[in-house]
Structure 1
């Protein structure tokens, strides 16, 4: 007997955020881990632009890459982890790491993107402090 996986059940028990957006960049799925990471409930995020989690200074670059992926149906971040700044609902800066998957319809046309997101803020800050400390120690030698 073949086991059927319930996508929403799976996505909502995952520790990583699952954010799915349509071809226009509007959020169509937002799991409970995304709520924890970004501070928005699903009802607040659904139907909104990805701009709610993208810092303003990075939006143009984000949308350029998003549109290119929609046009070509490809992304280099399907297996390569991308680490970028993001925004929490309260305005605090986050560092997130994620991979994406292109979602297509039955005709093979791209209709959206699914991202598996992890809050990488603590590791990013620890890394930055470590680099600062190394630079200080090297300056003393």
Structure 2
């Protein structure tokens, strides 16, 4: 079954990642490689700060710590849309949902399913400008 799970995770276009309690990336699929530009070898072992814009980093870290401490997130069933950083320096827009990963009631970290919505965001901004 392990090989089947690996194939499913690697074949989807969405980014899938897992970060441990210290915000260290432990899983990074091909979808995440495409979205963010970092290979799995580059991302795994790095902090999530790799993809979080500097101006949002403190807020992100507070939120992450709260989720790890409480074992609860408001974004399990909701998609969160935020800016992120691509390896080439571009700002991208992503939407994602998170799941808390537990083992014997202990939080191991957080997984995220991610989509690049940059084009959609730009289109919405253009429509807003046109409406003015």
Per the TM alignment, residue 110 of structure 1 is displaced from its structure 2 partner at its CA by 0.6
Deviation readout 1:12-31 (Å, 9 max, x if unpaired): 00110001100000000000
User: What is the aligned counterpart of 1:79 among 56, 77, 80?
Assistant: 77
**TM-score, length-normalised on structure 1?**
0.91
- 1:90 positional shift: 0.6
- Of 104, 123, 127, the match for 1:126: 123
Partner of 1:21: 19
Deviations 1:61-119 (Å, cap 9, x if unpaired)?
Answer: 000000000000010100100000000001000000000000011x2111100000000
Q: List per-residue Cα deviations over 1:109-141 (Å, max 9, x = no partner).
A: 111000000000000000001001101xxxxxx
Aligned partner of 2:91 in structure 1 is 93
**TM superposition score normalised by structure 2:** 0.97
CA distance in 2, matches of 1:8, 1:43: 16
Aligned to 1:64: 62
Question: Which runs of 5 or more residues in structure 1 are unaligned?
Answer: 136-141
Aligned to 1:138: none
Task: Show the counterpart of 2:49.
Answer: 51
The Cα RMSD (Å) is 0.8
Q: Please say which structure displays the higher CA radius of gyration.
A: 1
SS in 1 for 2:75: helix
Q: Secondary structure at the match of 2:23?
A: coil
**Unaligned residue ranges in structure 2 (runs of 5+):** none
